[in-house]
Amino acid sequence: MTTIYVKEQGAKVGRQGERLVITKDGNLLEAFPLNQVEQLVLVGNVQMTTQAVATLLAQSVDVVYLSSFGKYRGRLASVGSQNARLR
């Protein structure tokens, strides 16, 4: 399982089939098999599609939001997430 950090400002995280894709200005930057993603960390000005959010929540993948300077902003955790119990 992998923690993915998206630091490219203006990038967009989406879903294509069974892959989590990271694009910028319509160009593919990276793609990861969804079943390999354990956590997603978004740093700064990074967007995520509703389809990606729904898929990650369904697979109990946490999404962590950091400022462009690395300051913690928050976390999106599904009910089945290991970290959901901390609430």
Distance between CA atoms of residues 73 and 20, nearest Å: 22
pTM summary value: 0.88
DSSP 15: E
How far apart CA 74 and CA 47 sit, in angstroms, is 15
Q: Which ranges constitute the DSSP H helices of the chain?
A: 50-58
Using one digit for the tens of pLDDT, what is the confidence trace for 36-51?
999 999 999 999 999 9
CATH class given for the domain over 2-78: alpha beta
Residue 1, pLDDT > 90, answer no
Taking a C-beta distance cutoff of 8 angstroms, is the pair 51, 15 a contact? yes
Given this model, what pLDDT does residue 81 score? 64
Is the per-residue pLDDT at 77 higher than 50? yes
CA distance 52 to 63: 11
- Compute CA 56 distance to the chain's CA centroid, rounded to the nearest angstrom: 7
